[in-house]
Structure 1
């Protein structure tokens, strides 16, 4: 029961900005979560917190300690990145369009529509009012689109849709902070950046970039007859005005510092000074030159500036990006990465990596521009994930989706290492063969394909005499026979794996065959159909249906228990039925209508409690030991039941994202109008970012899977559930992607078999006296992971057989789990393998008798050993070739 959320796979990048921290971690928003991708270790992990809706903007503090994430409802989360915990929450009163930390990390600039606000950044301390509003600037007449701080955190560049860039001071009173305006652009501002000297950090140049592909360079200048006492409290003429043109004829450049002699003058802050420097927003700026990227009719959609390298990267709506050296405007790279709009383009801190995001393709790229090579190239599924399957060793996960693609992921790293795209229609079922290196997939295009995961190719295609749509798939334990159920002809097709020949067509069902599974122990095939029956077939004997289990409602799916002695199926009335496949008897029935009931849909006319739609399970999955069952459906919940007692143990809420439909139990009556819910009214703004969710409704002029008509939001649902053979994790294919849940390792205390004398001190005392058997037994009774591992390593190799044979059988599972965990992280491989060998010798008969309860732990051990074997094989092969090379070179030198 001790499962918690660990990762999110298969979800596409849907828009918003991305950033790279100082320790080479790429942060990007995925729905209402934030994904952290380590570009050095090549691992990705989803942060454990959730926003209330899809995240629109993220920004990190300069020291990488904090993250501020703002969602579409203007609700912000202030997160401790190192501890991955939410510290504070705040709700802004308007939609947030721009966000930026000051270089010293003390201030946060927030663009709220036409307003600019500066907030005091909270820290690690718990405060009643963590966010403090310093000041608000209402000077912009258009929506704020770009922000940039000066290196000293005293000035702020603000670009907006009113075609102007304003230079503000973050200090001083409101009356003395009238901004300087940079004018001349003919389209909305996309970026505005300060350029400073490398040694002194003094700002002397400003770059402004507009949507029409123009970049203006502005230089800081001064006038020789500029009166200090008057100029410090007056506004210089803005570029492009008659006053500015007349003043340019009468003034020449002088140094910025103005000496005030013989008397004390007051500067803009009201302090008496002898030497005063003109503030940047009061100084004079001159337009040096205008440059154009020449990508018309494409629009400039993303840009970033690296201050140390003085380089600009820009992305366009036609998929082209450019890298330019400033201020000479020298093009270093001009390349195309797609034909779709680039929605984000970012430098890392060193400036050697460029990060690009394309919301329409759901793609993220990290490119090293000097070597012209990819550091990262990841793309999630274009549409909803339909099916998932674990490999027998639990190291890989295969996913199939409505985008016709099949992806294989490494579970430990969270990365997709191969995408298979030969299918021409939605992939509806995937299945791993027992050899761990062959993958099967079924599709609505009428084919079942077999994939070789060594060469990454489709080596066999199974077809039917006439086109059919396949929705279920299974293979027998030996891997000789492949079976697939159809949606349209209600038949089950049987092929030979070796020859690819169609062996048999099993007929008898009168509805779509949505459930199909072979028994893990024999060749009996179970199928479920919408014709209200579950049928058992003896495929090898060819006698047709061996037995039929009738139900009162449509049967939606069927699964076998891992030992093959029980069968579970879900029906349309919300029940889960458990059958004995040998005797043909109904064993248990669980009523889950109330448990699976989710939130209210926006199109529902009844409340969630009174609605009858969606209150059934569409996918089932047994736990690794067969004592529990997981069930999911068209709901925000996944239910976990104890089979023997028929009770609900736990409900997992897969999301709290209000951007999805069916999350709220009660709808907000304020959003109801005479024309229906506000969210269903088509009032599309052309400036709204187009991403994965919006584009599905525009293809071919009709709605595709995963979309709702009339611009409705995607509905939260679970399409497939699978548990890893090791039993340590399980995965759910949901609307947001593939959610991974694993056992919480921090849960260590289990009060079983405890006594007053069973203490950590007693374990240490036994170790000091070298009583390894007593110490290990005490640590197993305490069930503390660190103590168990400490006792394992305290045993001398010669004493391992004696200690292994004296271990009680009830502690075998916990001991095997400890060895599996150690083998994944410990360098003492031979010592641990010696332990495993002696345990198997001493308790082989007991392991065989208790195989059902020990199976998850044994599979975890097998997974660790096979991974070690693979790593050692690669290392030995590399060393062998290296030694051959060294021997050949030494021979030549002699």
Structure 2
């Protein structure tokens, strides 16, 4: 049993809070999700989550000039040096202060960090002990008594400009220059939101919170700066020691040449504040975002309005241009109400617009083919997510209360959801509509849901009246009501003609659908969850004492138990007034789920941990932690005594202020009952880490855990595959020709796949002998086998080739050797493409042109599926022609009798221009 599952993606969460950025190629956007980072590849429609995690929520992100590394800062001041390809944190630097901003220099050799009131400059790789500390502190500027919020470099990496809450811009040098030491500029009425040098010059643009944008012109140009050494003179004042005393040095000076009120373009006057701004120096466009959800674009330096766009009603937290200036990434809102937008300003269209659930996600379920994941939340919405791209494809919002359970029909064409509003709604995934609604005969809340594999029955359990309802899926009529439980029905499951239900009355019942009779089995504690094994021969029952009991389904014999109490290991919440040991007695796992083969069972609940157990051995196989994010409650095992004062635990004090966006806001909004949008009386609390659902993918290679952080997907496919060609930069066409000349077909094919040239791939494949195909396919690594499959599906070579049998031998060899590994690695679209490709050739073979002969220069062709009806008729015409020719020859002895004979014979079917007789369907 393989248990090497690792976090591969987050579903249902696209953005939390903090700064978003683009990769250097401009095709992917990097978004912070709590204490982790997700990368959305907009070109290939693929997303992944980096495996590393900070101790607190991520606030600032900066990407290197090479695009291979990231600098990530969390809200408590820890800076991580992360490699993007592997997702590993190489180095961790603790600043012990709030990080306002951090930026790589354009040359990629230095990093500027706004550390609270200071500006620090680090050298990369300049330290002697580089293997231990890749960040080496070069210098520190004490710039302000207030917090610094933004910093930027000039194009030559010689100057920096920083701004903060004291409304003053300060220009400093990255080295010692004779022209300046610290040059302050004050002309703003609010805290500085953004400041940046323009392209190729020392001219600047700055934007403040009150909406004032200033353009500053510098008297110096790149190359005018003179090196020097600043020292203290006899009076203790900073003075410069010049390298050349005779040379006259011009001091740096900035003149404000343009001032503009950006709030005039917001549509709300001067009552709104600027929350984020970003200037693209290549296209000379300034993007400004406001706290009312409006973003405007201006051309600089004329400040001509290009576009005004309202993204949402929520506050815009961050904006970022990609390198080419075509796309603009926008992060709106905070926490669970946040959304991520990528907007193409030239076409005024959305490249991506994704938003998660506004409240806690309570349930998740994989589709039968594993390609989709359905989620339901307390906001009453059901969302369908693509499991590979992590993008939401459709949202259903017909429910008027929280969704408690979602289930797929076995065909995968419909999704059913149960809600606290007392209804079950079935949605069609072809027309995206609610085509059937199941209603209880009396108003009650529905907490559980089950659908049989045949798709005929829908079963739901009520929370208030303790009944189980059975509907017909086809007609929507209520078929039966099962009564017998004396308390709330906590879980139900169905297999074949039997329904198993668990209740808080410390009993489980196995119902027979035909006669509505039940067999009752008493358990020691309240039942929390019940599940049939995939084969239906075992029933697993989870009770409130943390024990999983296995019963034989037919005779209800006890097969054994698993005690999960010690594996729960819950943390102490900030509101717990009792000790951790006493609090742990009231917390347990609440959800279980069998693996598709029935050999493993997954358990999670009121803890930061979830476990996988072996069903035959009754032993724990592996234990995971859902998160290390200390911004949430219930992560640390016990209290931090430093937070205790004479007034109590300071973690319980809400110090956040919605007007101050720099405060670390990691809390969940608690709205008044009945409110759906904004609530002026909402309060905030630190969300506690809990697991609400666990579900396995039908392939068995992935499972999803629905928790406070979202839906975390764990997969067996996260191990990186070693690719030797990635280390060779000299892979050219000569390598392919040399390998083909040496009959090394495997090396030639891998090189062609590496170059991604379709004609060379075709050449290598067709040069391989039929007897050598299995050997070459076995020599390929899984990475190249996946690429070869994608080439077969995406290209038009296999669909239009006349060597169908040859390519089918290749496809069979690849699937025989790498089928099990590719089952979980290759996305469903590729496998579906392979199936469609085979079906296409199968259809062509059925209609293959099998009979073709020449009859007096008339090419007669007919298809195989018409041979049965046409062969006899063609044969009779063929036999009748010689007799006609003999008859006409006896009547006319002219030398042109043959020609007249051909012209006199009429074609009853007609012919084409080339003289070919075609018999079609």
Report the TM-score, using the length of structure 2 for normalisation. 0.76
3-state SS of paired residue (1:17): coil
Aligned 8 A contact 1:718 1:733 in 2: yes
Provide the residue aligned with 1:321 in structure 2: 295
Q: 2:305 aligns with which of 322, 328, 331?
A: 331
- Structure showing greater relative contact order (alpha-carbon pairs closer than 8 Å, 6 or more residues apart): 1
Q: 2:641 aligns with which of 664, 669, 673?
A: 669
Provide the residue aligned with 2:835 in structure 1: 869
Q: Are 1:21 and 2:23 counterparts?
A: yes
The Cα RMSD (Å) is: 4.0
Q: 1:149 aligns with which of 121, 129, 153?
A: 153
User: Post-superposition shift, 1:744?
Assistant: 4.4
Query: What does 1:525-564 correspond to in 2, within 5 Å?
Result: 525-539=499-513, 541=514, 543-564=515-536
1:589-610 residue CA offsets vs partner (Å, 9 max, x unmatched): 1111001122222222344344
Q: 1:181 aligns with which of 181, 184, 197?
A: 184
Aligned 8 A contact 2:126 2:136 in 1: no
Counterparts of 1:273 and 1:70, CA distance in 2 = 43
Counterparts of 1:172 and 1:817, CA distance in 2 = 51
Q: 2:10 aligns with which of 8, 11, 20?
A: 8
Counterparts of 2:676 and 2:94, CA distance in 1 = 34
User: Post-superposition shift, 1:676?
Assistant: 2.5
Counterparts of 1:858 and 1:190, CA distance in 2 = 46
3-state SS of paired residue (1:594): helix
Query: What does 1:94-113 correspond to in 2, within 5 Å?
Result: 94-113=97-116
3-state SS of paired residue (1:343): strand
Provide the residue aligned with 1:263 in structure 2: none
Provide the residue aligned with 1:162 in structure 2: 166
Q: 2:357 aligns with which of 361, 369, 381?
A: 381
User: Post-superposition shift, 1:424?
Assistant: 1.5
1:152-204 residue CA offsets vs partner (Å, 9 max, x unmatched): 1111111111111111112128x9854222222111111112123xxxx232x
User: Post-superposition shift, 1:307?
Assistant: 0.8
Aligned 8 A contact 1:614 1:633 in 2: no
Provide the residue aligned with 1:575 in structure 2: 547
Query: What does 1:414-453 correspond to in 2, within 5 Å?
Result: 414-453=390-429
Alpha-carbon distance change, 62 to 269 in structure 1, aligned in 2, over 3 angstroms: farther
Counterparts of 2:784 and 2:524, CA distance in 1 = 47
1:529-582 residue CA offsets vs partner (Å, 9 max, x unmatched): 11111111122x1x3342112111110011111111001010001100101110
3-state SS of paired residue (1:63): coil
Alpha-carbon distance change, 620 to 429 in structure 1, aligned in 2, over 3 angstroms: same
Provide the residue aligned with 2:137 in structure 1: 133
Deviates more, 1:671-680 or 1:479-488: 671-680
Provide the residue aligned with 1:202 in structure 2: 201
Aligned 8 A contact 1:597 1:608 in 2: no
Higher radius of gyration, 1 or 2: 2
Query: What does 1:66-77 correspond to in 2, within 5 Å?
Result: 66-77=69-80
User: Post-superposition shift, 1:732?
Assistant: 0.6
Q: Are 1:340 and 2:318 counterparts?
A: no
Deviates more, 1:558-567 or 1:289-298: 289-298
1:354-409 residue CA offsets vs partner (Å, 9 max, x unmatched): 11110243111111111111111111222221111111111111111112211111
User: Post-superposition shift, 1:440?
Assistant: 0.7
Provide the residue aligned with 2:253 in structure 1: 283
User: Post-superposition shift, 1:865?
Assistant: 4.5
Provide the residue aligned with 2:483 in structure 1: 507
Q: Are 1:714 and 2:717 counterparts?
A: no
Counterparts of 1:216 and 1:376, CA distance in 2 = 32
Q: Are 1:307 and 2:311 counterparts?
A: no
Q: 2:808 aligns with which of 824, 830, 834?
A: 830
Query: What does 1:258-297 correspond to in 2, within 5 Å?
Result: 270-272=242-244, 278=250, 282-294=252-264, 295-297=269-271
User: Post-superposition shift, 1:96?
Assistant: 0.8
Alpha-carbon distance change, 69 to 614 in structure 1, aligned in 2, over 3 angstroms: farther
Q: Are 1:728 and 2:701 counterparts?
A: yes
Aligned 8 A contact 1:614 1:634 in 2: no
Deviates more, 1:611-620 or 1:15-24: 611-620
- How many corresponding residue pairs? 763
Query: What does 1:468-507 correspond to in 2, within 5 Å?
Result: 468-507=444-483
Counterparts of 1:37 and 1:858, CA distance in 2 = 20
1:47-82 residue CA offsets vs partner (Å, 9 max, x unmatched): 111111111111111221210111122111101123
User: Post-superposition shift, 1:874?
Assistant: 11
Counterparts of 1:555 and 1:495, CA distance in 2 = 24
Q: 1:406 aligns with which of 357, 360, 382?
A: 382
1:71-119 residue CA offsets vs partner (Å, 9 max, x unmatched): 1221111011233221110111211112111111222111122222222
Q: Are 1:89 and 2:92 counterparts?
A: yes
Q: Which runs of 5+ in 2 are unaligned?
A: 232-238, 723-741, 745-763, 775-780, 799-806, 844-912, 914-921
Q: Which runs of 5+ in 1 are unaligned?
A: 235-266, 750-767, 771-789, 801-814, 840-853, 878-890
1:293-330 residue CA offsets vs partner (Å, 9 max, x unmatched): 31421111110001111110001111111000010110
Alpha-carbon distance change, 453 to 123 in structure 1, aligned in 2, over 3 angstroms: farther
Provide the residue aligned with 1:752 in structure 2: none
Alpha-carbon distance change, 642 to 102 in structure 1, aligned in 2, over 3 angstroms: same
3-state SS of paired residue (2:111): strand
Counterparts of 2:787 and 2:512, CA distance in 1 = 40
Alpha-carbon distance change, 440 to 342 in structure 1, aligned in 2, over 3 angstroms: same
3-state SS of paired residue (1:293): helix
Aligned 8 A contact 2:422 2:444 in 1: yes
Alpha-carbon distance change, 493 to 823 in structure 1, aligned in 2, over 3 angstroms: farther
User: Post-superposition shift, 1:478?
Assistant: 0.9
Alpha-carbon distance change, 123 to 322 in structure 1, aligned in 2, over 3 angstroms: farther
Provide the residue aligned with 1:760 in structure 2: none
Provide the residue aligned with 1:653 in structure 2: 625
1:111-151 residue CA offsets vs partner (Å, 9 max, x unmatched): 12222222223489852333222222222132112211111
1:465-497 residue CA offsets vs partner (Å, 9 max, x unmatched): 332211111111110111111122211111111
Counterparts of 1:838 and 1:299, CA distance in 2 = 62
Provide the residue aligned with 1:753 in structure 2: none
Counterparts of 2:675 and 2:436, CA distance in 1 = 34
3-state SS of paired residue (2:576): coil
